[in-house]
Amino acid sequence: MRDARRKFVLGIALLLAGGAIIGWLYGRPFIGLATAAIVALAWQVRQLLVFERALRTGDFEELRYSRGIWAQIYAEYNYQRYRGQKYRRRYKRLLKEVRNSTKALPDGAVLLNADFEILTCNPASDELAGFRGRQDRGQRVDNIVRDPAFTEYLRSRQFDRAVEIRSPLYDGQWLNLRIVPYGADQYLLLIRDITERIRLSKMRREFVANASHELRSPLTVISGYVDALSTDPETPETWKKPVVAMQEQAERMKTIISELLELSRLESATTDPGRERIDVCALLTSARKIYADRQDVAKIEIECVSPAILLGRASEIESVIANLLSNAVRHTPPSGRITLSWRAGPEGGLLAVEDTGEGIDPELIPRLTERFFRVNRGRSRADGGIGLGLAIVKHALGRHGAELEIESQVGKGSSFTCRFPVDRLVGAELVPLRAAGAQDADKA
């Protein structure tokens, strides 16, 4: 290219110089120079026209075998064009593959921009949630899937979890929607059909509820007769002990069944637990009364740091307190101390049950809320624990939007803290949490 350029410049210069010299020989150097310039211009204009025609018609035969700068320009142009075509073909193939693979996905995928407007979506998202590729471009995603839970999910921008909603298209179908942020402010919405899972868990719940219910009536008959036998003076002395044991076990089975029923009721309840006004301190005091006459339990103290009122279902909160307290009593020696406390502030409400009991192995803490999970199988059978209490606590708290935090040190004691969201509190602004903490420190 450089060579051709030099040649071109040299050629033009020579031509102009030649014209000037010939003109000079005839005594008219400027006319000679002008003539040479016109010849050069005419030649270049002709070349330009040829090149333009070649571009227009795509027929480069005339240029292919010519030489000089125009042939060079042509060669360069052709090379770039060829390379561009090659890349374009490659990208097209790649794009087609990507598009085909998203088409083949069984899950719906919708690309969204920073304002959650639809950029593009795959056919599965149409089948699952009714997104129409071309028509819905630029539409806000929650204008098409209008479930309030989903709208709230978008607004909260907490995309580490997913939402489960009823399908907008088919009755009885359930969808799992998850937003995955990627790149600079772009989002991918994934839609999965979870009807089968919802159906299975519903079946399991119903099975547990029905089985417990069916077990209850024969058990009532058995325990009725056992009760009669235990009080009957004619029962032979050798049978007295077995009858008492039977009575105890029947009582235990009754508790298990009623707790299973309670658990399945909590699990299947879909509606909001409501907003009854609950005086937590009063509930704590009445929970303590149950153990007031017993000599073999640890000392139970109540710390009411906040007068805040909790909004929720009183019966469920009562059962949370009763379960946590009965756990604490069972695992704390009579010399120990149990503290029930309620404090609230702008950050939320804390209901805590702390004991100085035997503590829990940290490895077992995550498993505590599983059904029928017991830290020490051998001993808790004797003292009445059946392993459903914390599962009930977890579900009841979940319905109130609260969380259960468990901390424990083996040999020193455990603390179970229920953290309620601030929108379930009334009068929380009176005593902020930090001040409450300071007050505690003073007391200690």
Partner 1 sequence: MQPIDLTGHISKRFNKELEELRNSVLTMGGLVETQLNSAIAAIVSGDSELGLAVARDDYKVNNLEVEIDEECSRVLATRAPAASDLRLIVAIIKTITDLERVGDEAEKIGFLASKLAAMDRPSDSYRELRSLGNHVLQMLKDAMDAFARLDTEAAYSVVREDELVDGEYEAITRQCVTFMMEDVRSIKRVMNVTWAARALERIGDHCKNICEYVIYMVEGRDVRHTDIADHDAAREE
Residues that bind partner 1 (CB under 8 A): 130, 132, 135-136, 139-140, 142-144, 146-148, 151, 166, 168, 171, 269-272
Residue closer to partner 1 by CB (options 140, 254) is: 140
Pick the closer one to partner 1 by CB: 129 or 344: 129
Q: Residue 143 or residue 409: which is nearer to partner 1 going by CB?
A: 143
Q: Judged by CB, which is closer to partner 1: 144, or 278?
A: 144
Instruction: Compare residues 175 and 300 and give the one whose CB is closer to partner 1.
Output: 175
Q: How far apart are CA 168 and CA 140, in angstroms?
A: 16
Residue 337 CB neighbours (<10 A): 15
Enumerate the H helices of 290-338 as residue ranges: 314-330
- Shortest spacing between CB 279 and partner 1, in angstroms: 22
Q: How far is the CB of 177 from partner 1 (least distance, A)?
A: 13
The amino acid at residue 152 is: E
- For the bound state, the minimum distance from the C-beta of residue 270 to partner 1, rounded and expressed in Å, comes to 7
Reading the block at residue 443, the tokens are 């007391």
Q: Which is nearer to partner 1, 172 or 366 (CB)?
A: 172
Parallel, antiparallel, or unpaired: how do β-strands 299-304 and 413-420 relate? unpaired
Q: How far is the CB of 54 from partner 1 (least distance, A)?
A: 43
Report in angstroms how near the CB of residue 212 gets to partner 1 at its nearest: 20
For residue 148, the minimal CB distance to partner 1 (Å) is: 5
Q: Which of 224, 255, 240 is nearest to 392 (CA)?
A: 255
Distance, CA of 437 to CA of 44 (rounded, Å):
92
Return the closest-CA partner of residue 75 out of 3, 181, 167, 147.
Answer: 3
Contact 326, 288 (CB under 8 A): no
Our CB check for partner 1 shows the closer of 36 and 144 to be 144
- Taking the complex as a whole, the smallest distance from the CB of residue 191 to partner 1 amounts, in Å, to 16
Residue 280's H or E segment, with its range, is helix 280-289
Q: Distance of CA 11 to CAs 6, 36, 68, 157, 297, Å? A: 8, 12, 10, 70, 113
CA pair distance 223, 205, nearest whole angstrom: 26
